[in-house]
C-alpha cells in the first residue's frame, strides 16, 4: 500500500543511488506543504521540492500530449502536412503576429525591469521568418511513419525494421519562440510534444499557442494537445515534467539536436 508524503522532518535520512543517504535540511522541512512532491537527484543526493501546483501543471500538459499521441495513430500524413502549413500561415498573418508580438514586447519589458537578459526572448521579424521557414520545411519533409528501413526474408517468414513513433517528447528551453516551430516537427513522425519554457517568456508562449498553434491543430484535424505547454513559471515544473513516466524522451533544447528528429 502506497502512502502520500504528509510532512518532512529535518534530519530525516533519505536513501539514493542504492547505497547512499542524503539528509532533509531544516529549511527544506519548513517549506514543505501537504501535496508537495519530493525528488532525489540520484547522482549527488540533492533534494528537489516541487510545490503542488507545479506537478499539476506538468501533469496536465503531459496528459494532453499522452491522449493526443494515442489519437495521432489515426491521423493521416496529409493532416500533419496541413498542420505545418496552417501554423506557418498563422504566423505569416499580420493580425495574428501582432497579437504574438504584443505579448512578446510586454514580457521583454517585464524582463528588463527585473534586470534580466532579453537576448533569447525577442520575437523579431527575422525569427518570425525563420519559424515560418522551419514549419514549411517540416511540411515538405517526406512522411516516415511505418517506413520500412530494412527487411530480411527467409523461407516462410521475414523480419523488418520499421520506423515507429516514440511517444511524448518533452522540451525544456529558456525563451526562444522559434522552439515551437522546431519542437512541432516531432509530429511529422507521429510523436507529440510537451514544452516548458522560462518564466520570462511564458506570455509569448501562451500567445503562440492561443493564436497560431492551437488553431492550426484544430483546423488540420490533428488532436488537441499534440503540442502542449506546461503553464507554470517555476523551474520545479520542469523537474516534475522529467519525473513523469509517460515521457519517452526529454530534451534540454538545442537547435542542432531538434533538427535530427526528422
Residue 156 falls inside a structural domain? yes
Identify whether residues 98 and 109 lie together within a single domain. yes
pLDDT in tens, the chain (262 residues): 668 888 899 999 999 998 999 999 999 999 999 889 898 988 999 999 989 889 899 999 999 999 999 999 999 999 999 999 999 999 999 999 999 999 999 988 888 888 887 777 888 899 999 999 999 999 999 888 877 778 888 888 888 777 788 999 999 887 788 888 889 999 999 999 999 988 778 888 999 999 999 999 999 999 999 999 999 888 888 888 988 999 999 887 654 444 443 3
Measured torsion, CA atoms of residues 209, 214, 215, 221, in degrees rounded to the nearest 10: 160
Identify whether residues 107 and 178 lie together within a single domain. yes
**Residue from 242, 198, 236, 233 nearest 51 by CA:** 236
Residue 4 falls inside a structural domain? no
Identify whether residues 185 and 119 lie together within a single domain. yes
Identify whether residues 22 and 108 lie together within a single domain. no
Place of cell 523579431: 124
- Written as nine digits, the cell of 140 is 515538405
Range of the domain at 43: 13-50
Identify whether residues 161 and 110 lie together within a single domain. yes
**Helix, strand or coil, per DSSP, at residue 202:** helix
The domain tally of the chain equals 2
Identify whether residues 125 and 231 lie together within a single domain. yes
CATH number of the domain where residue 237 is located: 3.40.605.10
Identify whether residues 57 and 44 lie together within a single domain. no
Amino acid at each position: 500500500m502506497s502512502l502520500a508524503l504528509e510532512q518532512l522532518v529535518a534530519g530525516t535520512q533519505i536513501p539514493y543511488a542504492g547505497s547512499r543517504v542524503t539528509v532533509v535540511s531544516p529549511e527544506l522541512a519548513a517549506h514543505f506543504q501537504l501535496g508537495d512532491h519530493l525528488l532525489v537527484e540520484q547522482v549527488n543526493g540533492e533534494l528537489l521540492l516541487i510545490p503542488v501546483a507545479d506537478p499539476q501543471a506538468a501533469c496536465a500538459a503531459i496528459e494532453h500530449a499522452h491522449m493526443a499521441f494515442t489519437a495521432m495513430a489515426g491521423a493521416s500524413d496529409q493532416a500533419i502536412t496541413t498542420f505545418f502549413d496552417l501554423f506557418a500561415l498563422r504566423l505569416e498573418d499580420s493580425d495574428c503576429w501582432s497579437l504574438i508580438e504584443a505579448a512578446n514586447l510586454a514580457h521583454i519589458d517585464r524582463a528588463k525591469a527585473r534586470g534580466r537578459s532579453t537576448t533569447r526572448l525577442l520575437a523579431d521579424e527575422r525569427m518570425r521568418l525563420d519559424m515560418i521557414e522551419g514549419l514549411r520545411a517540416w511540411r515538405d519533409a517526406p512522411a516516415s511513419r511505418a517506413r520500412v528501413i530494412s527487411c530480411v526474408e527467409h523461407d516462410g517468414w521475414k523480419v523488418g525494421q520499421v520506423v515507429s513513433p516514440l511517444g511524448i517528447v518533452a522540451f525544456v528551453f529558456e525563451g526562444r519562440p522559434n522552439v515551437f516551430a522546431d519542437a512541432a516537427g516531432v509530429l511529422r513522425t507521429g510523436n507529440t510534444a510537451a514544452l516548458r519554457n522560462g518564466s520570462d517568456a511564458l506570455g509569448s508562449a501562451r500567445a503562440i499557442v492561443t493564436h497560431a498553434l492551437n488553431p492550426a491543430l484544430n483546423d488540420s484535424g490533428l488532436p488537441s494537445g499534440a503540442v502542449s505547454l506546461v503553464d507554470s513559471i517555476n523551474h520545479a515544473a520542469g523537474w516534475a515534467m522529467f519525473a513523469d513516466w509517460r515521457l519517452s524522451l526529454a530534451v534540454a533544447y538545442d537547435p542542432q539536436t531538434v533538427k535530427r528528429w526528422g
